[in-house]
Structure 1
């Protein structure tokens, strides 16, 4: 018999894509797709089970289908449908606790893959230039999805200690972008004008949604010789982009503001439902975050198809032209930069 894979969070686009992808793996016999709501997209030949992972019933699903591989994708920063932040936190934290409790009792589970985020490192002014998987954050996230991810990883580590016979893989994804991206950062980049923090131009990393599906497929397979497929791994496309470069490539003007003003604008945008300008996103757009992907390449054996720049370019194409065509925007910014440099030379001469 082939493997029996259970996937959570299948009502979201990413979960649906992975379900359709994992069914093509010749080693997989059945896929059990789980979510509290029925997905609007098709799931191929997967068996859909409508179940809330926050409830103990998830243990019966694991037992009934003799699941051996669990891919936990229901850890997210955005609500599905009309659910708010409280429902998201419950699913992230309480749902993960229930799922791990069910996995702990299951005699058949042998592999667990968990979707996490590089937001566990936080964003602070004295952060290291590059975060490695073992780098502790300067300060733990105080709320929002980042705090959820920290708690989820803590529960996963506890599970790994209690069930050392289960191979556990935690994937810390950088900001996921692509044509179907559904995240607060994607909403931010879709604004006609991008509010930015005056005096800051943070470095950002992205990972393409196609690469996310590919690395999940790799992590969920039985380990091959020399590739343990277990541990904690940062996942991001090569290279970095500055926020100003992102704006230019989108053709969207930026509106530099002092931090208190940006916070006020963010709260207003959140109130009208345009984007979730949360404090953690504010810190990211102020201080940025860059992670090392050496372990992803060397230990996990994964090389993303898209660089950070290519990921952003594909996302930008899906959003259409901004208020200014990227070429004109670039020329205008270069001209202003040249004039600023000339003004500096003139001042220096006097």
Structure 2
């Protein structure tokens, strides 16, 4: 990594910022340029922040001006923002990536591209194999949303690799990321005091710890090994095993009712119950990581189980506060519907938040 000049997209989000800061501290990296439409929150250390929209051709000028030789693309978002909704999300993901790839194709200095993709590209359905390898296609092609965006993005990346055979292109298909500081649809779901589940299903799922995500990105930059790699912790857990480790009660519901609950949760800004998340919580997903170890040479520190355990440890201080909030809400609802003289005393809450 001697003398590297690294450009990182998506640094306004925590994981993008953390990776940029870690890369800037590497002794063989000369400079790191962080790019996003809004400034990052928190300390950026030695990262030079440039406020720019990758949907704009100005990104090509930044690559040339800064003599960038390595691009790490982390600006692929999984949920619509508060402004613009799904239309803006697709523009940021697909149009932004197309503009960035066009700039890289014309660049005379860029020789390595690392793309943070996701195992969501495989989808989740009842026809899935036990473990997806990198050569496999989804059994049900995504027709909308985040999954469709990622499939299109990877297609454009493969096209760039064909047009620029001199360019090292590394695609990391990361499993759902969890950790104490991660804020995503899946972690928002797992932080809920009661977890709605699909009646009759107990999916097997696989996770990647946030520290291993940052480690995999750094390793990919250093190794310069082109190809597509599944990145995930060892092992799988069923959703019921996860809920027990999180000390969270579940609310099993018919599959058709989950969509309605998802709309309520989205309106309350508790979590974004997207079609991809609902499918994941119904059928689960597992990926084979042989290529990650044997060809990329990366070994995660956390297994799926230890990643969940670390995530669970961050929830413990907040469990009783959440329970108190639920009890207060229930009391208000009861007071509004039952005469004061006939109100029964509320039952105490248990350690796991159930009656």
What TM-score comes out, normalization by structure 2 length? 0.88
Q: Distance in 2 between matches of 1:319 and 1:84?
A: 29
Q: What residue in structure 1 maps to residue 21 of structure 2? A: 20
Shift of residue 325, structure 1, vs aligned partner: 3.9
- Deviation sequence 1:116-145 (CA, Å, 0-9, x none): 000000001011111000011111112211
Shift of 1:84: 2.9
Alignment of 1:270 with 2:266, yes or no, is: yes
**Counterparts of 1:29-44 in structure 2 under 5 Å?**
29-44=30-45
CA contact (8 A) 2:25 2:46 kept: no
- DSSP-derived class of the 2:306 partner: helix
Instruction: Quote the offset at 1:222 in angstroms.
Output: 4.9
CA RMSD of aligned residues (A): 1.7
Find the counterpart in structure 1 of residue 307 from structure 2: 311
2:100: which partner in 1? 99
Gaps of at least 5 residues in structure 2 are 324-349
**1:114 maps onto 2:115 in alignment:** yes
Task: Show structure 1 runs of 4+ deviating over 6 A.
Answer: none
Q: Which residue of 1 aligns with 2:240?
A: 244
**1:271: Cα distance to partner?**
2.2
Superimposed CA distance per residue, residues 250-293 of structure 1 (whole angstroms, 9 cap, x where no aligned partner): 11111111111112111211122221001111110000000001
**1: distance between equivalents of 2:222 and 2:351?**
44
Take 2:81 and 2:227, find their aligned partners in 1: how far apart are those partners?
29
Matches within 5 A, 1:314-329: 314-320=310-316, 322=319, 324-325=350-351
Aligned 1:334-345 pairs, distance under 5 A: none
Query: Aligned to 1:78, what secondary structure does the other structure show?
Result: coil
Question: What 5-or-longer segments of structure 1 have no aligned partner?
Answer: 224-228, 333-350
Which structure 2 residues correspond to residues 117-128 of structure 1 after superposition, within 5 A?
A: 117-128=118-129
**How far is the alpha carbon of 1:82 from its aligned partner?**
4.5
Alignment of 1:2-13 (within 5 A): 2-13=3-14
Q: How does 1:124-203 map to 2 (within 5 A)?
A: 124-203=125-204
Equivalent residue, structure 2, for 1:258: 254
- How far off is 1:18 after superposition? 0.5
Q: Which residue of 2 aligns with 1:293?
A: 289
User: Partner residue of 1:344?
Assistant: none
Query: Residue deviations 1:59-107, cap 9 Å, x none?
Result: 1100111110000000121355655332222111110000000000001
Q: Is the 8 A contact 2:223 2:296 kept in 1?
A: no
- Does the 8 Å CA contact 2:236/2:304 hold for their aligned counterparts? yes
Counterpart in 1 of 2:347?
Answer: none
Structure 2 distance, partners of 1:206, 1:190, is 15
Q: Could you say what secondary structure the match of 1:221 adopts?
A: helix
Matched residue of 1:55: which SS? coil
Q: Secondary structure at the match of 2:173?
A: strand
Q: Output one character per residue of 1:1-27: Cα deviation in whole Å (capped at 9) or x when no partner.
A: 711100000011001110111112222
CA contact (8 A) 2:171 2:228 kept: yes
Checking the alignment, whether the CA contact within 8 Å between 2:78 and 2:146 is kept in structure 1 is yes
Aligned to 2:329: none
Q: State the match for 2:298 in structure 1.
A: 302
Name 2:75's counterpart in structure 1. 74
TM-score normalised per structure 1: 0.89
Query: What corresponds to 1:339 in structure 2?
Result: none
Q: Tell me by how many angstroms 1:149 deviates.
A: 0.8
Do the aligned partners of residues 230 and 241 (structure 1) sit closer, same or farther apart at CA in structure 2, a change above 3 Å counting?
same
